[in-house]
Amino acid sequence: MPILPIDSGRYGTDAMKEIFDDRKKITYQLEIEAAVARSQSEINMIPKSAAQNISSIAMSGRITVKRIKQLEAKSDHDTAALVEALSERCKPAARPWVHYGLTSNDLVDTSNSLQIRDAIRIIEPKVAKMAVILADMAARYKDVPAVGRTHGQHASIISFGLKFANSALEMAKHVERIEEAKKRILICKTLGVVGTGSLMGAKALEVQRRVAKKLALFPADVATQVVPRERYAEYVFSMALIGSTLEKIAVEIRNLQRTEIGEVAEPFRKGQMGSSAVPVKRNPVKSERVTSLSKLLRSQISVVFENIPLWHERDLSNSANERFVLPTTSILLDEMIETMTKILKELYVNEERIRSNLEFTMGQIFAEFVLEALIKKGIPRFEAYRDIQRVAFAALESKTDFRDAVKSDSAISSHLTEDEIDSIFVPENHLGASDQIIRNVSSIVKKSCSRFS
């Protein structure tokens, strides 16, 4: 009976959830057993005939979840049950060499790496795709002047495209972070009970190197019985960081969709209901979902950091929670990326409202540029600042247009012509280096993400 929303199918793609399915986990661990046996036989550590039999049975699909569960019910040890299930199907001559030189966590940690490897193979192209979508949106709206807000207040003019460019760059940087982290995260460990490779002796590192190559992983340079949990902490942190960027985008959409702002809106399909009580509402529920899941995703960080200081060469205080954390992290992030991609591809941008919001303060959003014009005329900054502030506050009080108030005030208008003042109040004149910034971002995104296109 499904209990969690992940189990019920509410969240998570089938492709990602399959990676963490019991059947798939067993497949990964049997793949490791096969790779170890083949690698050991290649350097004459075990008989080639035994390795061939072990590998053939391990990859045959004949080791079932049902049989492993039956054996686990007796041994109370899931990895031992898998090894026993494999051994009982191998030829008698091969059985002594099954799991030779390994310990349980060689399978557990290396299969964790295989799961993470395949999770990244799903996530990384989606992150790159989102970077491209955002870069394209930045280019599309680069010439649209909009209100730039700080502290929730109108501050100055911004290119609306710059909002997308900021997030596009961060998504491209996430691709770079994932690439850089792979060699630290995707670790193959086959060094036995306390990390010495004791039963395999001097050849242990060569076996591990060969196994890692077969599995597209990186061999552990050093380990205890387990891979250092800093590696999992980095993976979870990296995924949560991507999630936080997605949340940043979601929060901006939610704010810009406020009724009193109305600059963007999530896609709203025919038949969709925004509220069970208010028929006219179009709530940003998908962006709110991303925000909600991001909180849960970030909470996984504290767990994996707690797992780093284990006792001596290992204890089990990390084991149970990692069965939750690694799947949860991967599945939640994949769900968030899927959701945000759908939002952005169909996001409604109301350019008319964007332009009308520039007039909300009756011209006061141009105050920065009036100050700049006076400074260029030689007026000391703080003298000009105080005059502008005085005029602006009085205009606000009397509900007077700021441009008219500037023209009427001799302390300001005596230094600026009427044409100069009118030029200041043209929003397109104040996009600064936005065009170049957006083009630079597009170039970086293209460089970082082109191999995924």
Span 48-95, pLDDT tens digits: 999 999 999 999 999 999 999 999 999 999 999 999 999 999 999 999
Asked whether residue 439 is domain-assigned, the answer is no
- The pLDDT of residue 453 is 77
Asked whether residue 432 is domain-assigned, the answer is no
- The pLDDT of residue 74 is 95
- The pLDDT of residue 278 is 61
Angle at which helix 78-87 crosses helix 104-140, to 10 degrees, equals 110
17 and 160 assigned to the same domain? no
Asked whether residue 210 is domain-assigned, the answer is yes
Dmax over Cα atoms in the chain, in whole Å? 103
- The pLDDT of residue 7 is 82
Asked whether residue 341 is domain-assigned, the answer is yes
For residues 35 and 39, give the distance between their C-alpha atoms in angstroms, rounded to a whole number.
6
For residues 87 and 66, give the distance between their C-alpha atoms in angstroms, rounded to a whole number.
16
> Of 41, 73, 97, which closes a domain?
97
- The pLDDT of residue 104 is 96
End-to-end CA distance of the chain: 40
Q: Which residues touch 50 (CB under 8 Å, ≥6 apart)?
A: 37, 41, 91, 93, 94, 96, 97
The CATH number of the domain where 123 resides is what? 1.20.200.10
Asked whether residue 442 is domain-assigned, the answer is no
149 and 243 assigned to the same domain? yes
119 and 254 assigned to the same domain? yes
228 and 350 assigned to the same domain? yes
337 and 386 assigned to the same domain? no
245 and 315 assigned to the same domain? yes
pLDDT along the chain (453 residues), means of 10: 82 95 96 98 98 98 96 95 97 98 97 98 98 98 98 96 98 97 98 96 97 98 97 98 98 97 89 62 91 98 97 95 97 98 97 97 95 96 95 95 95 95 96 97 95 85
Asked whether residue 261 is domain-assigned, the answer is yes
322 and 381 assigned to the same domain? no
Q: Which domain holds residue 373?
A: 364-424
**Residue 42: what residue type?**
E
- The pLDDT of residue 277 is 61
Which phi and psi angles does 92 have, rounded to 5°?
-50, -40
Strand partners, 158: 146
276 given a catalytic annotation? no
Q: Which of 192, 200, 202 is nearest to 223 (CA)?
A: 192
SS (H, E, C) the chain: CCCCHHHHCCCCCHHHHHHCCHHHHHHHHHHHHHHHHHHHHHCCCCCHHHHHHHHHHHCCCCCCHHHHHHHHHHHCCHHHHHHHHHHCCCCCCCHHHCCCCCCHHHHHHHHHHHHHHHHHHHHHHHHHHHHHHHHHHHHHCCCCEEEEEECCEEEEEEEHHHHHHHHHHHHHHHHHHHHHHHHHHCEECCCCCCCCCCCCHHHHHHHHHHHHHHCCCEECCCCCCCCCCHHHHHHHHHHHHHHHHHHHHHHHHHHHCCCCCCCEECCCCCCCCCCCCCCCCCCCHHHHHHHHHHHHHHHHHHHHHHCCCCCCCCCCCCHHHHHHHHHHHHHHHHHHHHHHHHHHHCCEECHHHHHHHCCCCCCHHHHHHHHHHHHHCCCCHHHHHHHHHHHHHHHHHHCCCHHHHHHHCHHHHCCCCHHHHHHHCCHHHHCCCHHHHHHHHHHHHHHHHHHHC
- The pLDDT of residue 391 is 96
191 and 49 assigned to the same domain? no
Token pair for residue 42?
């290649």
Handedness of CA 332, 338, 344, 346 (dihedral sign): negative
151 given a catalytic annotation? yes
Handedness of CA 96, 97, 101, 102 (dihedral sign): negative
241 and 374 assigned to the same domain? no
Global pTM? Answer: 0.93
Asked whether residue 433 is domain-assigned, the answer is no
pLDDT tens per residue, range 39-51? 999 999 999 999 9
Strand partners, 218: 187
- The pLDDT of residue 2 is 79
Q: How far is CA 423 from CA 294, 403, 417, 418, in A?
A: 44, 11, 10, 9
169 and 294 assigned to the same domain? yes
- The pLDDT of residue 1 is 73
Q: Which residues touch 161 (CB under 8 Å, ≥6 apart)?
A: 137, 138, 139, 140, 141, 142, 143, 144, 434, 438
> Of 64, 82, 97, which closes a domain?
97
286 and 327 assigned to the same domain? yes
Q: Which residues touch 296 (CB under 8 Å, ≥6 apart)?
A: 328, 332
369 and 335 assigned to the same domain? no
For residues 282 and 272, give the distance between their C-alpha atoms in angstroms, rounded to a whole number.
9
Q: How far is CA 59 from CA 53, 110, 146, 170, 256, in A?
A: 10, 17, 59, 41, 53
The count of domains in the chain is 3
> Of 54, 71, 97, which closes a domain?
97
Among candidate residues 151, 312, 410, 414, the one labeled active-site is 151
Asked whether residue 299 is domain-assigned, the answer is yes
Handedness of CA 135, 140, 145, 150 (dihedral sign): negative
Tell me, rounded to whole angstroms, the distance of Cα 322 from its chain centroid. 19
Among candidate residues 275, 317, 408, 423, the one labeled active-site is 275
